Every structure is written in C-alpha cells, then in structure tokens.
Structure 1
Amino acid sequence: MNTTVKNFRPLTKISDLQIEENLAKTSIHRGMFKKLMPLIYPIRYLILALIIVEILQVMSIFIRPWAVKYILDSGFQQVAGKLILQQPVLLTALAILALSWICRFSLAGLSKYLSGRAALRVINDLRRTLFQHIQSLNIGYFDRTKAGRIISRADRDVDTLEPVLIQGPPELLSAMLRCGLASILLWHIYPPFFWCLFAILPILFGMTAIFKKSSQKHWGRVAEERSRFTAHLVETVNGAKIIQQLNYTETNQRRYRDLLKDFNNSIIYGSKRTSWFAPFTGLLSTIATAGFIVIGSYAYSKGVISIGQFAESIFYVFLFLAPLQELTDLFERYANGAACAQRIFLLLDTQSTIQDQTNAVKLDQLNGHIRFQAVNFAYTSKPVLQNFNLDIEAGKVVAIVGPTGHGKSTIVQLLTRFYEPQQGGIFLDRYPLQDIHLASLRQHVSIVLQDNVLFSGSILDNLRLVQSKASDQQLIQAIEDLGADEILQQLPQGYFTEVGTLGKNLSHGQRQLVCLVRAYLANPKILILDEATSAIDIYTEQKIQYALRRLCQNRTCIVIAHRLSTIREADKIVVIENGTVVEQGSHEQLLQQQTAYYQLYQSYLHNWLQ
C-alpha cells in the first residue's frame, strides 16, 4: 500500500550560531573597536604607564646603535699611520651599552608586571560582567542555546581576548615607535636609506589588509568549531549515565572525534590560507636589506657617510624591519581575539525578553489570589495554551491534572515569568504580573519541581540559599518542622553531608525533601509543586506527603498532581486538555459528571492498584 504525505516541506536546519544571532537580534560580524574600548577605559592609567614604559624601552634600544657609531668614529685615532684605540671612548661606550641593557631588562620586567595587573583587572571584570549577564537572561535563552557554547564564551574566548586587549596595544606601539624612530634617524643620516625602506611599505600595507581579513575569517571558524566540541563535551558529562545505559559510548565517541576533526581541519585550512604572510614579509625585508647594502656601500665609497654611520644605519634597518616580522604574530592574535570578542559580545548583546518595567511594583504583602485571563502561549508556532482562563482563590489548594504535554507545566512557567504569554493577562491579587518587580514576584512564589536541583555543598548550605543569615539550629528546626529529619539524619554526615553536583549524592526522595524544606524556609505566599515521586519507597513518600501538607497550610498552592491522595484532598481540581480548561470543581463533583476527569481518575486508580 502506497502512502503519501501531503504538504510536506523539508525544514532547513538552523545552525547554533544562527540561533544565537537571532536571539541577540544582531549579526556576529561587526567591528569590535567600539565594543572593546569600554573594557580598557577603567585601566587607562595602567595602560598609560605601560605605554610610557614601552617608549622608554624603545629609547634604550636605540642607544646601542649610537654607541657602536661612537666607538667606530671616535674610538680610534690615527697616529703615525696606525690606529690607536682610545680607551676612554671605549669604556664610555661600554658603560652606555651596559646601562642600556640594564634599563632594557628592568623595563621589560616592569612592562610584564603592568600588563599582568591590567590583564587581571580587565579579564576579571569581563568574567564578572558575563556571569552577571548570563544569570539575568530569561529561561528561553537557555532552552535554545547549548550550555557548552555559553561556557566556551565565558572561559576560552575570554582567555583568548586577553592578549589582544593588554599585550597587543603596547607591542603594536613598540613596533610603530621602532619603525618610526628608525625611519627618522635613517633620514637624518642619509635620505636614500629612508626611501629604500619606504618603498616596501605600500606593498606591505596592502598585503596586511588582505591577511587581516582572511585571518579574522579563519579564526572565527576556529572559534565556532571549538564551541561545537565544547558543547558536545558538556552534554556528554551531563548525560553520562544515559549514554552508558544506552550503550551509546562508541557512537558518542565517533561524534566527538568528528567534531575534533572539524576543529583541526579548520586550523589546518586557515594555516594554509595565512601561512604565506610570514615568508612574504621575510622576502620584503630581504629585498629592503639588499637595497640598503647597495646604497650604503655606494655612499661610503663616495665619502658621504662614515663607517660608524654605516654600521649605525645597519642597526636602524634591522630595528625597522624586525617589527615587520612581528606583524604576523600580532595580526594572528588580533584576528583570533577579534573573532572571540565577536562571540562574547554576541552573548552580551542578547537581552532578556523578561524585563522589569520602570514603575514595577515591589509587593510587601500578597494575599495569593491568581487569575489567568484569556491567555494564549506558544513556545514555537504550535499553541500550548489557547484562551486559557483560570481563577484560583487565595489560600486554596488547586490540583491541575491532564494528559502529558497539554500545558500543565507551562502554567508554572508563565506564573513565575520565566516566559510571558503572547496574548491575555495573568494577575496576582489586583496586579498584572508584568507590573510586579521580578525579585518581588519570585520572593512570593516558590517552586518545587519534579527535577529537583541542589548545588554543591552540604544540605545546610543548600537551605541557607534562601536564608543566608540563618543559624544551623534554625535550619535544623525547619527540617524537623516538615518531618524530614528522620531521613536526612541517616545520611553519612547527617545535615553536613555533601550533596554533590546537582544533588547526585542523594536519592530522588532525599533531594525532594531538601527542596521542600528550602521552600518552607522561603515562606512564600504561593507554592507550586510538581509532586511526582517515581522510584521512591513508601516510607519516604509518606514523609513527603506529610511535608506537602505542612507546606500547603495558609498559602495558595498549585499542584501538578500525580497522587490519588493529593487529587482527592485538593480544594479544587482543574482538568486541562489541549491548553484549555475543560473541567473544574471538587473531586466529588467531577466524578459525578463522569466526563474527562472521571476517565483520568479511573486511569490513575488503575495504575495505582497495579
């Protein structure tokens, strides 16, 4: 039997970078100069000191050619047809050379110290700014962006930016000073020397512009490939159990190997495209040096310059040409840093879609009345909630039931303003949700979800997240109030047990108890619970049920219900199908109607009896 699929249209896959550009609402390919300058402004005095040190270093370097000239032109005196060495001249010149080297080493050490201090300040400030910005982004950004790519921005890309911001400008200044001062001195000694070197500059500048463009494109590709395998590595670490359980390790290893191969190929390809620049500058330097020797030899033979001036000029020529050889490294670092900076600022330019209004209200008191009014919401193009209306009285326990994927969890996301509806309004008491200050809203609304999240540290450390100044005894008292002490005390170090990353050292039930105590300490007026207890023993479940009853006292509670006991005991049950409320009422009322809730309840009852 042949089947046809109508209106099938293949979707074009959007790359991770395109997703980030869409979220930032800007292109990654932008000039970075204006973006980078504010990072340097706070350390402008350190940069100024660094520039002065570089100028002094260059001056110490240019003393040496003069000392050589002084020895050759003034250190020998012809007496009776013989050249006699003038020791005072030699000793003076040697003292000057020794002093120049001492200054050179001392200034180099000072330059490293200043650049190190400047680098620490800039990079630490940038890391703090990135961290603060990442925390402020709305949940939708993290849903669509791979964690590894974010980590790559805040870690490797920031490290790569440091040489550009701190070491690059002084080194470029030093190169320019050496070229400029050498040119002036060569002009002063013999103008044809200057013109011989100046002739190669237009060619050099033209080739440098081509190299810079090609190199920046190459390093942008390298940075993108690095982000891809970093993202894959983070996903592997987070999903290690599932990967091993599914025997996916070999396939996952091949995938990682392919990503590394793409990364290596991008480096090799870029090297092929940019490797010509260093030999090219070397060729230009050789041509310029050969021209200088020819011109200098002719000038010396005609008596236009002295032997000391010829020797001095040779040093100046090398001081002029050496920075040209350094340009390859300077521009490679600049291109690499600029490519990483584009990615960093793409993240920084991404603004949270959930923002406080200028006149946002900070609520000191809240009764806990909740109202959804004609709410429409979709994560993508497919609607999740459609004309959703729900009224929850203050202080009531409302159980929300319905098939998986029909909008139950989305209600939680909207009520906490992790997302905002496309149409309609949500109200707490008499206030529209968007008019309430975010920090104030989340102070009054606590969530305990099925996927409980704990942070590295002890149990007491995790409880102290909501009451930072609470004593150990106060935290322990809260644990006892909810009846969680019997289970948590049995841990190896009791309440001081390290929970591990994301609470991996605790069982699911133990993590849920800790999260319930944490919500109890927050003392919210509105409590949202996803009370699923799969893979939890009966004793732990009983403790959790007791804790839930205590938590729900004197506050508005929304429970995404999975237990029969919770469903029956709720003040109101709301049945959701296809993003719409189809039934609501008490347990007895809805059973009598024998429609949607009756069928769901029979299904729950059947599964529970099994």
Structure 2
Amino acid sequence: MMAAERNSNLKVLSDIELEEKFANQQLNRNMFWRLLPLLKPVKNYILTAVVMEIILVGFVFLRPYFIQQAIDHGLIYQALDLQAGGVQAGGAAAASQKLVTGIDWQVIGWALAGLAGMWAARFVFAGLSQYFSGTAAIRILNQLRVNLFSHVQQLSVAYFDRTKSGRIVSRIDRDIDALEPLLIQGPPEIFSALLRFVMAAAILLWVSPTLFYHLVLVIPLLILSSLLFRRLSGHHFARVAENRARFTAHLVETVAGVRIIKQTVQEDSNLKRYRGLVDAFIHSLVQSNIASGWFTHFTGVLTILGLMLLLVAGGQEVTLGHLTLGQFAASLFYVYMFLGPLQELGDLVERYTNGVASAQRIFLLLDTRAEVVDSADASSLPSIKGEVEFSNVLFSYLPDQSKPVIKHLNLKVPAGQVLAIVGPTGHGKSTLIQLLTRFYDVQQGQVLIDGVDIRQLTQRNLRQHVGVVLQDNVLFSGSIIDNLKLAKPHAQQAEFEQAAAELGIDDLISRLPHGYHTEVGAMGSHLSHGQRQLVCLLRAYLANPTILILDEATSAVDIQTERRIQHALRRLCEGRTAIIIAHRLATIRDADLIAVIHHGELAELGPHSQLIQNNGKYADLYHAYEAGEQL
C-alpha cells in the first residue's frame, strides 16, 4: 500500500521525468563546464597524450615533404620543346614539357629512409599516446564510479523506494563507460583533428593560395551540416540511452525476482515485456542511425568535391608553371589532411553527443540530494537509556501530505520495556519503524529518544543505537563471518562463537558445511530462511544496540526454528528497549505493552490481559488469529 500511495501521483511521469523530479533539475543542460573538472586529476596524462598527438601530426606532415623531394629531385628531368621554332600560334610563348630521363637513387633512398623513419616514429608515439590516454581513462572513470557509488549510498531510502534498481546500475556501469570516448579519447583526437586541419590549411595557403581558396568553398556546407547533425543526433542519442536503461532495469529486476516469476509461471509474459523493451531500444537505435547516418556519407561527398576542385585547379597550376609536379603530389596529401578531419568529424560529434547524453544522466543522479539530512548542529549521544516516544506524529509518503499514513499518533515506550505493535496490514506499523530509524522524517510532531528529537542526532549515531531485524533480512555475498563483521568489524571468530553460544545457536552454525566460513550466497540464498534469520539476529546481537526493532522476525519458519528464534529473541531483548511488529500474536503475549495501530492511529495500548478484557480491536484480532490457527 505504501508504494502504491506514494507513487499514485507520479504514474503519468516517465522514468527519466521521475529522476528529474527527484533531482529538482532538468535533464538538458550544458555539460561542457561540468565535464571539464573531471579531467583535472589526470590533466598531466591528458597533456602528455596531447603532446604525443602533436608529435604524431608533425610526422604526418613530414611524409608529403619526402614525397615531394623524391619527385622533384629524385627524378631527373629534361625539358623538350613541343613546337619547332619555339613560337605558338597567336604569338604565345613556346610551351615545353619535362620528361623523366633518369633517377637519383641517393635522393630516392634518402626519401624512402625518411618515410620509413616517419612510420616507425609514428608507431612508437601512437603507442605512448594510447598508454597515457588509457591510463587517464582508467583513473578518471574508476574515480567517477567510486564517487557515484558513494553518492548513491548517501541518498535517502525514499529514493530507492521510487527508483528502479536497474536504472541506478545503468548509470554507474553503462553510462560511465560511454564517457570514456568523450573524456579521454576525445580531447587528444579533437585536438589532433583541429591541428591537422589548421596546419594543412596553412601549408596549402603557402604552397598555392589558388588551391586553398578552391577548397575553402566546402567549409560553409560542412559547418551547416555539422550543426544539423549535432541537433538531430543529440535528441536521438538521448532516447537510445533512455531505452537502454529501461531494458537494463528490467533485467536487474528479473534476476532479483526470478523465484517469483517462476513461481507464478510468468516467464512468457516477462519475456514478452523484455522483448518489447529491447524492440523499443532497437527502434530508437535505428531511428538514430537513420537520422545521423547521412553525415558520414555527406562528408565523403565533400571530400570528393574537394578533390575534384584540387585536380582542376592543381592541373591548371602545374600547366602554368606555378607548381612543380612534386608540389602538386604533396598537395594531394595536404588536401587529404585538410579534408580528413572533416570525415572524422561525424564520429567525433557522434561520440560527443552519445557521451553528453550519458553525462546528463550521471549528473542528474549526482544532483539528486538526500531528503533526510543531518542538521548543521546535529550531535551524537555516546549512550542512551532507550526511552522511545512518538509525539503527535503526522506522516505521509506523498509530498503534499495528502493521505497520511500516520495521523497525530502519540506513543511512549519506557526504557528497557518490550512493545509489540499489531494491526491490519497497511495501517502504518512498519512506517513507525522507518520513522524511528529516520529513513523518513515526520511532517509534523516528533520522534524522541530519551526526550531528544532524533532530528537533532546524526543519522550515524542514531542507527548505532537502534538495531533492526526484518522479516526478509539481507545477507551479502561472502561467508557468515563476513556478514557478522558488518556489526563488529574488528572482532575475531572466537567472539562470534561466544555470542552465538549466548544466543543458543552456535551448534546450528557449526553444523554448516564450513561452519562460520560457509558462503551464504547472493542475498543469503545458500541458507534456509530460518538460518538467515538466526544469522541476522546474531549480527544484531553483536552490534549491541540499546533499542531493538524486530519486524516479523519469526514468520515463515518451521516450529523447531521458531523455538530457536524465540530463545534468541528473549536473550537479545534482555536489558534493551524492544519494539516488535508481528502478525503471529502468540509470539507477543508476554510483551510489556501492546499497541494496536488502526488507520495510522493508536487504537489501544496496554498488556495482553488488559486488552483482552477490554474486548476491543486487539481482542478481535487475537480471537481471529486463534480461530485461524485452529483451522
């Protein structure tokens, strides 16, 4: 009910719109100034890679020089008159043609050696460039993953209640991977492309202004097409990234809930839904390719157009004697260097657009702030007695406070006593626990511990004093000892064994295949439900909280395991304030106080015997429970 109520007013919003709502930010923002600081920790690696690219460009531009020298000086020419008498019709000067009559092998050998040296040097410096840029990529992306992971851990529980886990995984995994081409490979390659473009233009202008001016004619077409391409591709790449996040989210949810899917025989319908999400991704990807695929071909047309202009203009320049044959051959290479970056521009723009789409989502998550935060003057209590009080508490999961789950509730639990909370499902019992642990903050009233508003305590200090054992407790992958160390990191195995013996469960753990070193599996899947509960009780016991919360701790276990859990609970509750939420009313008859919660209000409060005598809501619940047990 809680999830349905808190999301009822958000159903019309898409997932990305929900993320924008939680972050209080719009997705489309200029990413340049936000991405730039990410390069600062690895700026030396980036600068070194840029220097390597400069050297590589220098080697590239030396190659045409050696070719020019080989043609102009390695070949021996002899000029032959084409017209007897040396005078053309119309009085024009006699035309002549140079023919190759020999080869200067020394010049040719020198040119070939120079070309080989350029290729060898390019191989070495390209490797160095990849090393420095790759090292930068590993460092910056790993640090970004850590920062994003740290940020996610700081977010309030409300964010995880409202956001699909697969979307969070997609941000930390796939979206960060998409930044590598933009942040690391992008700057050196863009710089190299611009440097080649400018140097080629300058050399062409110096060698032959006529060739340069003819090639400049393609630039306006390039600029207009680039602006159009960026605008179209930006929209489509954002949609592709969004659809990819959707099927990733569904995949994560399927893996987490595979038992429910199998149990309800929903494999086919779940597959159909996943196929629909994948088809939507493919459709958006195809649309993106259609919208952006023309750009590469268009730059190819511009390249051919530029070469055609060069052949016409260059041939005329050679005929007029303004260019040597070697200069013209070298100019062909310079033209390719001039037009080459234009062909690369499509890939660079696509990489930039794709990376920006991912960066927008990453920063949207980073911009999401925790709803529950410590106040500036929050303090810590080294120890507490354990008195708990809900004073005139009003709480709703909805931002507008409509449909409150808890309605002006007043409830006090003396230190060291056991309070059992009962009531129909969805009436606010578990919500009280979320308020006491401050996973959510009350909208009105106060939750107090020893008379201190818990909002005046740091969250870390509060949760050190409050331990929670849930119906479906979580065990993390690793051994039992690894999970117990979450409560007491520096404890040794002997301390764990002693604590288990005090709870009466040491023999159960010792009988496991590897005792305390038994691997529990993902989410504790290698252990039975009862075994997981006992390990979680032991973990709570090791944490030694003053206030203990037990939410359905004995449900869904066999009678023998329940007895063990009950014994462990009695030992665990000794000397602590305990709050127990249970539907199995037989387990809470010995509680000092029993609170009946009905529609978010305190309906009754008192010990078991008194509430039975009152013949109120608790008596109705208890008699209905007894009747159900007898069936």
TM-score higher than 0.5 here? yes
Map 1:201-212 onto structure 2 (within 5 A).
Answer: 201-212=219-230
Q: How does 1:238-257 map to 2 (within 5 A)?
A: 238-257=256-275
Alignment RMSD: 1.6
Q: Does 1:342 align with 2:360?
A: yes
Matched letter for residue 317 of structure 2 = A
**Could you tell me how far apart the structure 2 residues matched to 1:339 and 1:227 are?**
12
Query: 1:72 matched to which residue of 2?
Result: 71
Structure 2 distance, partners of 1:155, 1:10, is 30
1:487 touches 1:540 (CA, 8 Å); kept in 2?
no
Residue ranges of structure 1 left out of the alignment (5+ in a row): 1-8
Pairing 1:473–2:494 present: yes
d(CA) in 2 for partners of 1:252 and 1:137?
30
Measured in 1, the distance between the counterparts of 2:390 and 2:263 equals 42
What's 1:422 paired with? 443
Deviation at 1:604, TM superposition (A): 2.4
Q: What is aligned with 1:521?
A: 542
| 1:387 aligned residue | 408
Where do 1:229-308 residues align within 5 Å? 229-308=247-326
CA distance in 2, matches of 1:431, 1:207: 65
* Unaligned ranges ≥5, structure 2: 1-7, 81-99
Counterpart residue number, 1:449: 470
Per mean C-alpha deviation after superposition, the further-off stretch among 20-29 and 425-434 is 425-434
Work out the CA distance in 2 between the residues paired with 1:278 and 1:78.
Answer: 42
Contact 1:354 1:419 in 2 (8 A): yes
Alignment correspondent of 2:83:
none
User: CA shift at 1:354, angstroms?
Assistant: 1.1
Residues 10 and 164 (structure 1 numbering): CA distance in 2 closer, same or farther, change over 3 Å? closer
Establish whether residue 327 from structure 1 lines up as the match of residue 348 from structure 2: no
Counterparts in 2 of 1:80 and 1:253: CA distance versus 1, 3 Å = closer
Deviation at 1:532, TM superposition (A): 4.3
- Name the CA distance, whole Å, in 2 between partners of 1:548 and 1:313: 87
2:398 corresponds to 1:398 = no
Q: 1:84 aligns with which of 102, 106, 110?
A: 102
Aligned to 2:238: 220
Q: Which amino acid aligns with 1:397?
A: V
| Amino acid in structure 1 at the alignment position of 2:14 | S
Distance 2:596 2:10 in 1: 35
- State which of 165, 187, 211 in structure 2 corresponds to 1:169: 187
Aligned mates of 1:564, 1:249 — CA distance in 2: 37
Give the Å deviation of 1:565: 4.4
CA change 1:164–1:11 in 2 (3 A) is: closer
Distance 1:489 1:73, change over 3 A: same
Partner of 1:156: 174
Deviation at 1:211, TM superposition (A): 0.2
- The whole-number CA distance in structure 2 between the counterparts of 1:136 and 1:153 is 16
The structural deviation recorded for 1:11 is 8.7
Q: Secondary structure at the match of 2:374?
A: coil
- Shift of the alpha carbon at 1:109? 0.5
How far does residue 275 in structure 1 lie from its aligned partner after superposition? Answer: 1.4
1:459 corresponds to which residue?
480
Q: Which residue of 1 aligns with 2:94?
A: none
Task: Give 1:288 deviation, angstroms.
Answer: 1.3
The match for 2:18 is 19
2:555–2:584 contact (8 Å) kept in structure 1 = no
2:110 partner letter: T
Q: Is the 8 A contact 1:374 1:387 kept in 2?
A: yes
Aligned counterpart, 2:614 = 593
Amino acid at match of 2:535: V
Equivalent in 457, 472, 492 of residue 436 of structure 1: 457
Deviates more, 1:126-135 or 1:587-596: 587-596
Contact 2:469 2:553 in 1 (8 A): no
Deviations 1:342-390 (A, max 9, x none): 1111111111111112221122111111111111111123210010111
CA displacement, residues 153-173 of structure 1 (integer Å, 9 cap, x when unaligned): 111111111111100111111
**Corresponding residue of 2:590:** 569
Quick one: which of 143, 154, 164 aligns to 1:146? 164
- Match for 1:360 among 378, 381, 390? 378
Secondary structure (helix, strand or coil) at the match of 2:337 reads helix
What residue is the counterpart of 1:6 in the other structure? none
Matched residue type, 1:423: Q
Query: 1:76 offset after TM fit, Å?
Result: 3.4
Instruction: Give the residue type in structure 2 aligned to 1:58.
Output: V
8 Å contact from structure 1 (residues 223, 340) kept in 2: yes
Could you tell me which of 510, 513, 516 is aligned with 1:495?
A: 516
- In structure 2, C-alpha distance between the alignment counterparts of 1:80 and 1:139, rounded to whole Å: 88
Contact 2:419 2:591 (8 Å CA) reproduced = yes
d(CA) in 2 for partners of 1:259 and 1:77? 69
1:422 Cα deviation (Å)? 1.3
Counterpart among 103, 115, 121 of residue 103 in structure 1: 121
**Aligned 1:526-537 pairs, distance under 5 A:** 526-537=547-558
Mark the CA change 1:80 to 1:27 in structure 2 (over 3 Å): closer, same or farther.
closer
One-letter code aligned to 1:54: E
> What percent of counterpart residues are identical?
50
Paired with 1:353 and 1:531, the residues of 2 have a C-alpha distance of 27
- 1:78 to partner: Cα distance: 4.7
Does the 8 A contact of 2:533 with 2:553 survive in 1? no
Partner of 1:318: 336
Q: Is the 8 A contact 2:390 2:409 kept in 1?
A: yes
Q: Which moved more, 1:295-304 or 1:50-59?
A: 295-304
SS of corresponding position for 1:383: coil
Instruction: Say whether the 8 Å CA contact 1:532–1:562 is kept in structure 2.
Output: no
CA distance in 1, matches of 2:251, 2:115: 55
- Aligned-partner SS, 1:387: strand
Alpha-carbon shift at residue 530 of structure 1 (Å): 1.2
Q: Assess, with a 3 A threshold, how the Cα gap between structure 1 residues 240 and 316 changes in structure 2: closer, same or farther.
A: same
Give 2:428's match in structure 1, choosing from 407, 410, 422. Answer: 407
Q: In structure 1, what is the Cα distance between the partners aligned to 2:11 and 2:612? A: 48
Shift of 1:607: 2.6
Q: Please tell me whether the aligned partners of residues 10 and 18 of structure 2 are also in contact (alpha carbons under 8 angstroms).
A: no
- Which residue identity is paired with 1:464? K
**Paired residue total:** 602
CA distance in 1, matches of 2:213, 2:572: 86
Cα distance change, pair 25–79 in 1 and its aligned pair in 2 (3 A): closer
Q: Indicate if the aligned counterparts of 1:479 and 1:485 stay in contact, CA closer than 8 A.
A: yes
**Bigger shift: residues 583-592 or 282-291:** 583-592
Q: In the alignment, residue 204 of structure 1 is paired with which amino acid?
A: L
Length-normalised TM-score, structure 1: 0.96
Quick check: 1:369–1:428 contact (8 Å CA) kept in 2? yes
Alignment partner, residue 578 of structure 2: 557
> In the aligned structure 1, how far is the partner of 2:558 from the partner of 2:10?
45
CA contact (8 A) 2:53 2:188 kept: yes
d(CA) in 2 for partners of 1:212 and 1:592? 76
Task: Supply the distance in 1 between the matched residues of 2:313 and 2:239 (Cα, whole angstroms).
Answer: 46
- Deviation string 1:193-222 (CA, Å, 9 cap, x unpaired) is 111121211211111011011111111111
The one-character-per-residue Cα deviations of 1:377-426 (angstroms, maximum 9, x if unpaired) are: 11123210010111111111111111111110000001111111111111
Bigger CA drift: 515-524 or 9-18?
9-18
Give the equivalent residue in structure 1 for 2:3: none
Aligned 8 A contact 2:379 2:458 in 1: yes
Equivalent-residue separation in structure 2 for 1:562 and 1:63 (angstroms)? 83
| TM superposition score normalised by structure 2 | 0.93
Q: Secondary structure at the match of 2:405?
A: strand
Alignment of 1:2-41 (within 5 A): 13-41=12-40
Secondary structure of the 2:349 match is: helix
Structure 2 counterpart of 1:411, one-letter code: L
Specify whether residues 11 and 392 from structure 1 end up closer, same or farther in structure 2 by C-alpha distance, changes over 3 A only.
Answer: closer
Query: What's the CA shift for 1:139?
Result: 0.8
- Distance, in Å, in 2 between the alignment partners of 1:553 and 1:532 is 16
Name the aligned partner's letter for residue 429 of structure 1. Answer: D
The alpha-carbon deviation at position 79 of structure 1 amounts to: 7.2
Partner Cα distance (1:145, 1:373) in 2: 31
The structural deviation recorded for 1:583 is 1.2
- Larger deviation: 13-22 or 529-538? 529-538
